[in-house]
Amino acid sequence: MSQISADDVRKVAGLARLALAEEKIATYTTQLERILEYVDHLQAVDTEGVPPTTRAVEVVNVTRDDRVESTPIREDLLNLAPQREGDFFRVPRILGE
């Protein structure tokens, strides 16, 4: 793997629109080099037969069937509304005419 130069760090910082202090360039050069070495190390891992995933643990949504069920308290709830219009709550208008 090639070495990362200070110019490479400046170029990446420019592409990312980051203003890096000149005294930090050496620190970031070393850190970026170590990151790329780690990525190179990961490239050596045998992943034959391992399906690609987006997360380490598969997430499954638990859902239920969407069913309409009548409730015995429907009328009681509608009667609690300050204003009722048939089977609906009447609410003040919020949009202009």
CB-based contact 52:45 (threshold 8 Å)? no
Does residue 2 have a pLDDT over 70? no
In a domain, 77, yes or no: no
Task: Give the pLDDT mean for 34-42.
Answer: 92
Domain limits for position 37? 6-43
Q: What is the pLDDT of residue 82?
A: 92
Question: 64 lies in a domain?
Answer: no
Q: How confident is the model at residue 74 (pLDDT cuts 50, 70, 90)?
A: confident
Which pair of tokens denotes residue 66? Answer: 């969407």
Q: Please give the tally of structural domains in the chain.
A: 1
